[in-house]
Chain A
């Protein structure tokens, strides 16, 4: 089983948008490794013939009628905003596009 390197932790942290200090990267590299090794065990039983279960109960087709309900009042929408302007959320400049 490959282990999680510091570079890997840094890459994943960037993907998860979490700034980590150097000491945190070091520690996580060690700790995640232990977990990843423990996880290798399940490959013993998770064979190709076993179907995956994503829901504890097998529900399907849970739909809502297309009927509008009252929205949140705009004051409530913006109440928690770190910054707002003209009824909108103000966020720092966005680089690049998605």
Chain B
């Protein structure tokens, strides 16, 4: 079982030239309810081990589950957002398998009666192309506990001498979303897979059903992939790469499996239907152990729970209260802001949409907001290798900064210094301007003093200008700007200089 397949990898480009990849993606999302799926244990990230369990989530003898109504509502929300039909009645089922992190040795899930089924979601790719992914089902279930493997050299399961189990995560509500086979992605299969997971992540956040933080494992993807010679051929044998937990990993895992399976098929060997594991370090996948009883989960309806039969009124209430979904919102905002397609795509890809929206809401023009977030701020974020929203400046502060520029109190160049101050924790732009004394010198009296000094120092230039040659006036302006430490409005200085010379 452990012997690795020794066939070589085929280059990705070559592989997709000769094979048609078909995807299938299962995404698990941890719902952001306050309590677990079947008991009132509080869910909080990062608690001490085994401090968030009740007899139910610990699977103690005698304990019984009771469904968290909020979790059902969230599942329906997800189902509706995925354009699914919501079941008139559905049941939980027991998925029986022995594993130490599953306290009852069965997972309470849904089997042949999911709460939502037959839906779709449009996924926008990097170049703006839209790819529709069909959803087979979305069902409710519970998470397992966490094993920590101790004593093994590598920390991986195989080398461990024993494991420590924390059941805090056991029983956290999950919704699992299963796609139908995703065909027609062709050489863009890795991108489609990544964009699909990203789209779902955005959706979960918009629906307010989960924090959907990938790095905390709130969203986890299992990626199925198979190859076939042509799009007309029957589906090939698939592999399932488990727990791929970042967008980039989803893309890499698909890419790797395409190359690997092409190598297997090229060698005239069959692809083995199996579970595979993804390795972040090198972007490869490896075979999981094939278990003889892996498929025999002995599902049967959970007798400790009664059917969930969401009334149509309830479903419609939930539908009516659905927040605007990411795609529709993007479309609306683009219209409101008047951005070109390419501009909007850059904004989305930069993760700046919320920031710009908030900046605009604080009173800035869409163009002004975009100038800051996609310009100076994007440059600084890139320089520091952080995300835009991590910069220590708020949309309100940017709005204030832009307001200062537009009112002429500071100019663009000074504005960058003000931003420095705000980023350095010196407070709001207004405060920074005052504290640093950066306000534009708009008092004509103060300017005239500086102008007169400059004119007196350079009489030859005054002569030239008087002679009708305005070219050298810049030297006077420059001297004035220098004298006012750049805080003068250059346009006003020019007007005053010309006026003084008598032109």
Contact (Cβ within 8 A) A59 B306: yes
Chain B residues, Cβ within 8 Å of A69: 35, 40-41, 54
A86, B69: Cα distance in complex, Å = 34
Chain A residues, Cβ within 8 Å of B490: none
- Provide the A48-91 mask, 1 if CB < 8 A to any CB of B, else 0: 00000011000111111111110110100110000001111111
Q: State which of B71, B162, B275, B291 has its C-beta within 8 Å of the C-beta of A90.
A: B162
Asked, given contacts A66-B34, A72-B55, A85-B164, whether A91 binds B301 with beta carbons under 8 Å apart, the answer is: no
Min distance, Cβ B274 to any Cβ of chain A, angstroms: 11
Chain A residues, Cβ within 8 Å of B228: none
Chain A residues, Cβ within 8 Å of B163: 90-94
Stretch from B153-161, B250-258, B342-350 forming part of the interface with A: B153-161
Chain B residues, Cβ within 8 Å of A66: 33-35, 68-71
Q: State which of A55, A68, A96, A98 has its C-beta within 8 Å of the C-beta of B40.
A: A68
- Provide the B305-318 mask, 1 if CB < 8 A to any CB of A, else 0: 11111100000000
* Interface residues of B, dominant DSSP: loop
Min distance, Cβ A79 to any Cβ of chain B, angstroms: 11
Contact (Cβ within 8 A) A74 B72: no
> Is A97 at the interface (CB under 8 A from chain B)?
yes
> Is B405 at the interface (CB under 8 A from chain A)?
no
> Is A36 at the interface (CB under 8 A from chain B)?
no
A54, B292: Cα distance in complex, Å = 30
Work out how many contacts link A and B, with CB atoms closer than 8 A: 142
- Provide the B14-32 mask, 1 if CB < 8 A to any CB of A, else 0: 0000000000000000000
Contact (Cβ within 8 A) A88 B164: yes
Contact (Cβ within 8 A) B307 A15: no
* Interface residues of A, dominant DSSP: loop
Chain B residues, Cβ within 8 Å of A42: none
Contact (Cβ within 8 A) B50 A87: yes
Contact (Cβ within 8 A) B54 A91: no
Contact (Cβ within 8 A) B70 A74: no
Contact (Cβ within 8 A) A61 B308: yes
- Provide the A30-59 mask, 1 if CB < 8 A to any CB of B, else 0: 000000000000000000000000110001
Q: State which of B67, B91, B157, B292 has its C-beta within 8 Å of the C-beta of A62.
A: B67
> Is B66 at the interface (CB under 8 A from chain A)?
yes
> Is B458 at the interface (CB under 8 A from chain A)?
no
What range describes how many residues of B lie at the interface?
A: 35 or more
> Is A21 at the interface (CB under 8 A from chain B)?
no
Contact (Cβ within 8 A) B306 A62: yes
Min distance, Cβ A23 to any Cβ of chain B, angstroms: 24
> Is B443 at the interface (CB under 8 A from chain A)?
no
Contact (Cβ within 8 A) A96 B160: no
Q: State which of A77, A88, A97 has its C-beta within 8 Å of the C-beta of B148.
A: A88
Interface residues of B in 261-304 (CB under 8 A from A): 275, 277, 288-289, 291-294, 296, 298, 301, 303
Interface residues of A in 17-32 (CB under 8 A from B): 17
Contact (Cβ within 8 A) A94 B157: yes
Contact (Cβ within 8 A) A88 B157: no
> Is A95 at the interface (CB under 8 A from chain B)?
yes
Q: State which of B50, B162, B306 has its C-beta within 8 Å of the C-beta of A91.
A: B162
Contact (Cβ within 8 A) A60 B160: no
> Is B97 at the interface (CB under 8 A from chain A)?
yes
Min distance, Cβ A35 to any Cβ of chain B, angstroms: 18
- Provide the B178-214 mask, 1 if CB < 8 A to any CB of A, else 0: 0000000000000000000000000000000000000
Min distance, Cβ B305 to any Cβ of chain A, angstroms: 8
Contact (Cβ within 8 A) B58 A72: yes
Q: State which of B54, B166, B291, B305 has its C-beta within 8 Å of the C-beta of A72.
A: B54
Min distance, Cβ B340 to any Cβ of chain A, angstroms: 44
Min distance, Cβ B242 to any Cβ of chain A, angstroms: 8
Contact (Cβ within 8 A) A63 B69: yes
- Provide the B137-152 mask, 1 if CB < 8 A to any CB of A, else 0: 0000000000111111
Closest to A80 in B: B60
Asked, given contacts A71-B42, A71-B54, A94-B100, whether A62 binds B160 with beta carbons under 8 Å apart, the answer is: no
> Is B385 at the interface (CB under 8 A from chain A)?
no
Q: Which of A55, A77, A95 has the most CB of B within 10 A?
A: A77
Contact (Cβ within 8 A) A68 B275: no
Contact (Cβ within 8 A) B68 A88: no
Chain B residues, Cβ within 8 Å of A87: 48-51, 166
Closest to A14 in B: B293
Contact (Cβ within 8 A) A65 B69: yes
Contact (Cβ within 8 A) B157 A60: no
Contact (Cβ within 8 A) B40 A67: yes
Contact (Cβ within 8 A) A89 B309: no
Contact (Cβ within 8 A) B277 A97: yes
Closest to B55 in A: A72
Min distance, Cβ B119 to any Cβ of chain A, angstroms: 23
Contact (Cβ within 8 A) A92 B162: yes
> Is B45 at the interface (CB under 8 A from chain A)?
no
Min distance, Cβ A73 to any Cβ of chain B, angstroms: 9
A57, B305: Cα distance in complex, Å = 12
Asked, given contacts A17-B98, A67-B34, whether A88 binds B165 with beta carbons under 8 Å apart, the answer is: yes
Chain B residues, Cβ within 8 Å of A96: 157, 288-289, 291
Contact (Cβ within 8 A) B67 A97: no
Beyond the given pairs A71-B54, A72-B55, A97-B275, 14 more chain A to chain B contacts, judged by CB atoms under 8 angstroms and listed by A's residue number, are A14-B293, A60-B309, A61-B310, A62-B305, A64-B40, A66-B71, A71-B41, A86-B49, A87-B49, A88-B165, A91-B162, A91-B165, A93-B152, A97-B289
